[in-house]
Structure 1
Amino acid sequence: MSAFPISRRQLLVAASGAVAAPLAFAQTWPTRPVRLVVAGPAGGSADLVARLVSEPLSKELGQPVIVDNRPGAAGAIAVGELLQAQRDGHTLLVGVNSLVSEIPHIVKLRWDMFKEVRPLAELARGGLVLVGHPSAPGKDLKELVAYAKANPGKLNYASYSPGTLSHVLGLQLNQAAGIQLVHVGYKGSTPALADVMGNHVPLMFDGLATSLPLLKGGKIKAYAVSSPQRAPQLPDVPTFREAGYPQLDALGWMGLWSTPDAPAAAQQRVREATLKVLSDAGVRTRMLDTGFEAGSPRTTEEMAKVLKTDYDRVGGVLQSINFKPE
C-alpha cells in the first residue's frame, strides 16, 4: 500500500486531465501545413480528388493543405513516403482502396498493409465500366457475351494493370458467362484506353473518371458498370447485376489514410473535417464531374472490414489462374 493514499478528489482531477489533454491537442492541431501524399501522377484520379478536397479541407483545419504527387510502383512509393514521415498526423495519404485490397497480391511489399495504414475517410467512390471501341461486337452486354461464346478466345480485354480489379472483373465475367476473353495488361489507363480507341484491343474494364470524357465524346462505348446502382453520370448504362451477373458487383473508392500510430485526436480531427467537406453540395457536384460520387461516411472499422473482404475476393480469383506477384 502506498504511504501517500490518493484521495477521490485527486483521482477525479487526474481523470479530467486525461480527458482534457486529447481535447486540447485536437483544438491546437495542426500546427503546420498538412501534406497529402498522392498515390498517382498529376492529372490522375487520385490527384483530381486530392485537389478537389484540399482547399476546403485547408479552410476547415486552418492550415495549408499541400498536394504532393508520388506516383510509381503501384502506389508503393507513396505509401513509403507516408511511412517515413513523422507520425504526427501532418502527413496523410490519398490513394485507392486497392493499395490494401489488391496491390499486396500483385507486388511483393515489405510491409503488411493492414497493419501499416489506416483509412480515415472515404473521399470518393465509383464502379468500373466495361467499355469498348465503337465497332466492338454487340450493342449491349447480352450481345457481346453471345459473340464471345460463338468466338472463344478471339476477343481481348485490357486492364490498367495485371492483378487489379480491372483484370479480375474480366476473369469473373469469363467464369460467370462461360466465355474466354483474353486479358492484355497495361501500365495505366491512358495507354490502355489509347489502344481501345485505336481498336487494337476492343474492350477494357476502366474507372469511370478516365473513361467518362471519352464516352461523352463518342470515342468509346459502355456496356455495363460494376457499381451496385447505375452511375449517375451514365444513367442509361445498366449494372452487371441488372444484366444477370451479380458476381461483378464491385466499388472502387479513394481513401484518406494515416498511419495507425498517429495521434488519435489528430486522426479524429482530420476525419471530422473531411466529412464536413464532403457534405458540401458544391464539392459533391464537382466530384460527380470528375467521374466519382462523394464518399460515404463509413467508419474506419467498416472500411477495414470491406478491405479484408475485397482482399480475399481478389486473392481467390487470382489464385484460380495461378497469378504470381512480381
Structure 2
Amino acid sequence: MKLPMKLNIHDALKGAVVAAAMALGLGAGPALAEWPEKLISLYIGFNPGGQSDLLGRALATAMSEELGVPVNVINKPGAAGGVALAGLRAMPADGYSLQFNPSQTITLTPALQKVVPFSIDDFDYAGMLTSFDSALVAPASAPFDDFQGMLDYVRANPGTLYAPVSASTRFFATEIARANDLDIGILPVNGGQGVINALLGGQAMLAYSGGIHHRYPDQMKVIAALTARRNIGSPDVPTINELGIPIGMDLQTVLIAPKGLPEDVLAKLSDMLADVAGNEGFREVAASMFAPIDYRDAAQAREEMYTQLESNLAIMKAAGIEPQ
C-alpha cells in the first residue's frame, strides 16, 4: 500500500497566501478598482444658464443618484463646446472625465471648418439623452409673427441683427439671407444666456435658440423650427425645410468620453443614461424646456453621429458652402 506524500510546509503556506491574495483581488498584478469609486467631472462646453448647461446639471444630479458618487459640473465654454472637446480628447479614458454636449459640435463643425481639433473617431459615446427644439426666435415685441413677416421686416430694415450662439449656428442666418437676398447682421453671443440678454435687452431682433426660449413663453416667439422635424414646443410653426430652405438639422445631447474607454465602463454609462431617461427629476427639467427624451445606447449613438455628419455635409454641399 502506497503511503500518502508528506506535505511540504512551505508549499502549504505559499498556497494559503496565494488563495488569500486571490480572495482579496490582489492576484499576480495590480487590482482594477470597481468603476466608479470617486468623483466624476462632467464638462459643459457652454456658459451657465443655457439649455445645455441646465440639462447637464440635471444630468449630473441624476448621475450621482444612479452611480453613488459625486458628479461635478465644470463649465468650459467656447466654440459651441469645441474648446471643452479639444481638452477632453487629451484626458485619460478612465470614465472620470466626461462631456455632455450637443452632437452638432462634432457632426457639423467639420462641414464648416477645414481645421478641426477633433473628429468623431477621437471619442467614445455612452449614449444620447434628449433632442433639441432648435429654432429661429424673436422677442415677443417684434413687429412680425411668422417667417414671411420676418422677411418683410428685414427687407425694410437692412442689417437687422441675428444672435447666434456659435459659428456653426451663424449658418442659419447667412443661408436665410442668401436665399432671400437679405442683409442680416451678426451679433455673436455666448450661449443661451447670451441669446436671452440679446433679445430681451433689445440688442438683436433675431436669434438662434436650442430650446432656451421655452423658458420665456411670454417674452419670445418662434419664427421657424431649425430642425428637420417640427418643434415639440411649437408644433404649429413650420420648419425651415417646409419654408423652402432645406437646412433643418436635428441634433441630440450626447455623453462623450475620451477614446479608449473600457468596454465595461462604457456599458455602465450607457445603462446609467437609460435610467436617467426615466429619472423623474431629470424628466421634469427636460419637460420644462420642451427637450424630448430621446435615449440612444452607445452603439446607436455612434451610428447616429455618423449619420448626422453625412447629412450635414450634404446640406452644406447643396448650399454651395465649403469648409473655411
Using structure 1 for the length normalisation, give the TM-score.
Answer: 0.75
The equivalent position to 1:40 in structure 2, one of 30, 41, 46, is 46
| Cα gap change, 1:90 to 1:232, in 2 (>3 Å) | same
Q: Distance in 2 between matches of 1:79 and 1:135?
A: 37
Deviation of the 1:287 alpha carbon: 0.5
Number of the residue aligned with 1:9? none
**SS of equivalent residue, structure 2 residue 224:** strand
Q: Distance in 2 between matches of 1:43 and 1:137?
A: 27
**SS of equivalent residue, structure 1 residue 223:** strand
**SS of equivalent residue, structure 2 residue 296:** coil
Q: Distance in 1 between matches of 2:140 and 2:39?
A: 47
Q: Which amino acid aligns with 2:189?
A: K
The equivalent position to 1:115 in structure 2, one of 121, 125, 128, is 121
Deviation of the 1:135 alpha carbon: 4.7
Gaps of 5+ in 1: 1-24
**SS of equivalent residue, structure 2 residue 246:** helix
Q: Distance in 2 between matches of 1:146 and 1:252?
A: 29
Using structure 2 for the length normalisation, give the TM-score.
Answer: 0.76
Deviation of the 1:193 alpha carbon: 4.0
- Given that 1:227 and 1:251 are in contact with CA atoms closer than 8 Å, whether structure 2 keeps it comes out as yes
Number of the residue aligned with 1:253? 252
The equivalent position to 1:88 in structure 2, one of 58, 83, 94, is 94
Number of the residue aligned with 1:230? 230
**SS of equivalent residue, structure 1 residue 173:** helix
Q: Which of the two has greater helix per residue?
A: 1
Q: Which amino acid aligns with 1:182?
A: I
Q: Distance in 1 between matches of 2:187 and 2:115?
A: 18
Number of the residue aligned with 2:63? 57
Q: Which amino acid aligns with 2:176?
A: L
| Cα gap change, 1:260 to 1:86, in 2 (>3 Å) | closer
The equivalent position to 2:74 in structure 1, one of 68, 76, 86, is 68
Deviations 1:140-178 (A, max 9, x none): 223333555x548454433222x31x21222333455x3
* 1:197 partnered with 2:203: no
**SS of equivalent residue, structure 1 residue 46:** helix
| Cα gap change, 1:107 to 1:198, in 2 (>3 Å) | farther
Number of the residue aligned with 2:295? 296
**SS of equivalent residue, structure 2 residue 295:** coil
Deviation of the 1:39 alpha carbon: 1.4
Q: Distance in 1 between matches of 2:175 and 2:295?
A: 26
Deviation of the 1:278 alpha carbon: 0.7
What value does the CA root-mean-square deviation take over the aligned residues?
Answer: 3.2
Deviation of the 1:126 alpha carbon: 1.0
Task: Note the 1:165-180 alignment, pairs <5 A.
Answer: 166-176=169-179, 178-180=180-182
Q: Distance in 2 between matches of 1:46 and 1:139?
A: 27
Gaps of 5+ in 2: 1-30
| Cα gap change, 1:195 to 1:301, in 2 (>3 Å) | closer
Deviation of the 1:119 alpha carbon: 2.3
Higher gyration radius (CA): 2
The equivalent position to 1:139 in structure 2, one of 145, 152, 156, is 145
Q: Distance in 1 between matches of 2:75 and 2:233?
A: 27
Q: Distance in 2 between matches of 1:248 and 1:130?
A: 12
**SS of equivalent residue, structure 1 residue 247:** coil
Identity between Structure 1 and Structure 2 (%) = 20
| Cα gap change, 1:241 to 1:26, in 2 (>3 Å) | farther
**SS of equivalent residue, structure 2 residue 56:** helix
| Cα gap change, 1:157 to 1:69, in 2 (>3 Å) | closer
Deviation of the 1:191 alpha carbon: 3.8
- Given that 2:89 and 2:259 are in contact with CA atoms closer than 8 Å, whether structure 1 keeps it comes out as no
**SS of equivalent residue, structure 1 residue 296:** strand
